[in-house]
Amino acid sequence: MSGGSSQSSPLSGQSSFSPLSSFKDLELSSDSGCLSIVVLGASGDLAKKKTFPALFHLFQQGFLQSGEVHIFGYARSNLSDDGLRERIRGYLKGASDEHLSQFLQLIKYVSGSYDSGEGFESLNKEISEYETSKNNKSGSYRRLFYLALPPSVYPSVCKMIRSYCMNPSSHAGWTRVIVEKPFGKDLDSAEELSAELGKLFEEEQLYRIDHYLGKELLVLRFANRLFLPLWNRDNIANVQIVFKEDFGTEGRGGYFDQYGIIRDIIQNHLLQVFCLVAMEKPVSLKPEHIRDEKVKVLQSVEPIKHEEVVIGQYDGYKDDPTVPDDSNTPTYASVVLRVHNERWEGVPFILKAGKALNSRKAEIRVQFKDAPGDIFRCKKQGRNEFVIRLQPSEAMYMKLTVKKPGLEMATEQSELDLSYGMRYQDVKIPEAYERLILDTIRGDQQHFVRRDELRVCDLPCICPSFAMGSLVDN
Ligand SMILES: NC(=O)C1=CN([C@@H]2O[C@H](COP(=O)(O)OP(=O)(O)OC[C@H]3O[C@@H](n4cnc5c(N)ncnc54)[C@H](OP(=O)(O)O)[C@@H]3O)[C@@H](O)[C@H]2O)C=CC1
Ligand SMILES: O=C1O[C@H](COP(=O)(O)O)[C@@H](O)[C@H](O)[C@H]1O
């Protein structure tokens, strides 16, 4: 059983965000040979909206080659190969028909349950047949399993993969498993899940994905001298990390209602963004160094105070037929995190997330303190703010107070604006999932959550009575 490999081929700089090809720290694998990618839960929302489109974009850019890769969709739904292809076709944008059909032809569908051997035996048979048909000269076989499924089925699915679908030990190569968030429901279930998965796979084989970690904040944070002296309690009044969606559950209530917005978004996506904003500079870009710093800052977070939590549910949530009529699951929450360390003491980090709100965006808003000795009386115009918009349309801008044009002495707020779409017009900015799936194929765990991180990422643990039910009932 091998999780990684040690040949060196740094990530090529596909994005204008991070031309990583010169980063000596990243010794990544570039092994070749048959690559079988299995999307479990292929009939679902994530698979059609994110997983297959990301695979398609990697294919378009030549990272996945027809001769080398095959993609298997697996789920219980009764679908044919063409049925699955039709289901995802509409989400694969920006390609010629020829390119699109080349990609779709790589996809095969296998139907089966998540807890019985039969389906996984058939899956293994399909993968093996494909591998044999490839007459693989390099002799290396790579199997990547993507769990695009509700976490409740991860243990049984992982057991099935371990029992029926591993890369045979007689073959060189690897078996890796991408596990989606949320990793359990609370500390106990996360620990239990980790323990169960830990019995089946080595840590190097497990890729706990959080696509907000694919949003590439590290360069901005640590490569700009400008920010270094400002990034602390002396200058920053508060930091807001905001996620808003302008649509509701849309038929995903079966999953969402069991988890709620805190477990769906705040505990994972926003907490990971918080780590990147608040952590100290890692020793290097090596995955372990980055993840060590994230763990440290999480350990410095104080217990959350009840009076600093707001939750709510949007009107109409229970109209979704997949949501129980008596649901009290929050679809909106805001939580204040306070970090007890030298850099951040006294600076609130306000994490807000909500579905069915007025707009769709995810952003980090760093609000600076007022300039002391305000001789221009410009306080009323607002503070300096540095805003990083993660989506849509990645951008960053700095809100500054400037002299209003004209002969009068008046000030106003304006922006120094860097929109990626405008600045890099000819560059295709990759989706977070593209980058993360490619990282997995290359064996780079830098942007994935480590097992011990999960333990300190647990919001209910940071505040023991932060269970959703208890707050809703109060
Ligand atoms: N949707 C999104 O935008 C994102 C989702 N995620 C994560 O991805 C995972 C999957 O989410 P999503 O695709 O939205 O979920 P879905 O509700 O669409 O579920 C995916 C598939 O899993 C199967 N399934 C659904 N419910 C159950 C169940 N109770 N027991 C067994 N199988 C079930 C269904 O396939 P079948 O019945 O055919 O077997 C379904 O098509 C979640 O962990 C979520 O947090 C992460 C980022 C974004
Ligand atoms: O993990 C999830 O993320 C999506 C939002 O992803 P984004 O990249 O569009 O911000 C959210 O809709 C979903 O509820 C959640 O499970």
For 243-271, what is the mean pLDDT? 93
Pocket mutation for ligand 1, best pick of 45, 249, 436 (most atoms within 8 Å of C-beta): 45
pLDDT confidence band for 9 (50 / 70 / 90): very low
pLDDT confidence band for 30 (50 / 70 / 90): low
For 408, residues 6+ apart whose C-beta sits below 8 A from its C-beta are none
Contact (Cβ atoms closer than 8 angstroms) between residue 440 and residue 211:
no
Query: Does any ligand 2 atom lie closer than 6 A to the CB of residue 180?
Result: no
pLDDT value of position 25: 39
Query: Above 80 in pLDDT, residue 330?
Result: yes
pLDDT value of position 397: 95
For 140-144, what is the mean pLDDT? 93
Tens of pLDDT along 216-252?
789 999 999 999 999 999 999 999 999 999 999 988 8
Pocket mutation for ligand 1, best pick of 39, 43, 46 (most atoms within 8 Å of C-beta): 46
pLDDT value of position 326: 94
Give me the chain's average pLDDT, please. 87
For 314-327, what is the mean pLDDT? 94
For 4-22, what is the mean pLDDT? 31
Going from the Cα of 149 to the center of ligand 1, the distance in angstroms, rounded, reads: 4
The full set of domains in the chain, from first to last, is 31-180 (3.40.50.720), 214-426+454-473 (3.30.360.10)
Query: Both tokens of residue 434?
Result: 């593209």
For 169-189, what is the mean pLDDT? 89
Query: Above 70 in pLDDT, residue 472?
Result: no
**% of the chain at pLDDT higher than 70:** 89
Catalytic residue, from 57, 70, 269, 447: name it: 269
pLDDT value of position 169: 79
Query: Above 90 in pLDDT, residue 171?
Result: no
pLDDT value of position 459: 63
Query: Above 80 in pLDDT, residue 467?
Result: no
136 or 327, higher pLDDT: 327
Tens of pLDDT along 143-160?
999 999 988 899 999 999
For 298-325, what is the mean pLDDT? 94
Pocket mutation for ligand 1, best pick of 116, 149, 249 (most atoms within 8 Å of C-beta): 149
pLDDT confidence band for 21 (50 / 70 / 90): very low
pLDDT value of position 140: 85
pLDDT value of position 93: 86
Going from the Cα of 280 to the center of ligand 2, the distance in angstroms, rounded, reads: 27
As for the ipTM of the complex, it is: 0.97
Sort 63 into a burial class: Cβ within 10 Å, 0-12 / 13-18 / 19+: middle
Tens of pLDDT along 415-459?
999 998 888 988 888 889 999 999 999 999 989 999 888 888 766
Query: Above 80 in pLDDT, residue 3?
Result: no
Strand partners, 397: 387, 417
For 46-67, what is the mean pLDDT? 94
pLDDT confidence band for 137 (50 / 70 / 90): low
Please state, in angstroms and rounded to a whole number, the distance separating the CA atoms of residues 456 and 191. 11
What residue's CA is closest to ligand 2, atom 15? Answer: 264
314 or 215, higher pLDDT: 314
Query: Above 50 in pLDDT, residue 11?
Result: no
What residue's CA is closest to ligand 2, atom 6? Answer: 211
pLDDT value of position 138: 64
421 or 200, higher pLDDT: 200
Q: How many Cβ atoms sit within 10 Å of the Cβ of residue 202?
A: 13
70 among known catalytic residues? no
pLDDT confidence band for 72 (50 / 70 / 90): very high
Query: Does any ligand 2 atom lie closer than 6 A to the CB of residue 434?
Result: no
For 12-40, what is the mean pLDDT? 56
pLDDT confidence band for 300 (50 / 70 / 90): very high
117 or 8, higher pLDDT: 117
Query: Above 90 in pLDDT, residue 354?
Result: yes
Segment among 39-43, 131-135, 338-342, 391-395 with least mean pLDDT: 131-135
Tens of pLDDT along 357-412?
999 999 999 999 998 888 887 667 789 999 999 999 899 999 999 999 999 888 99
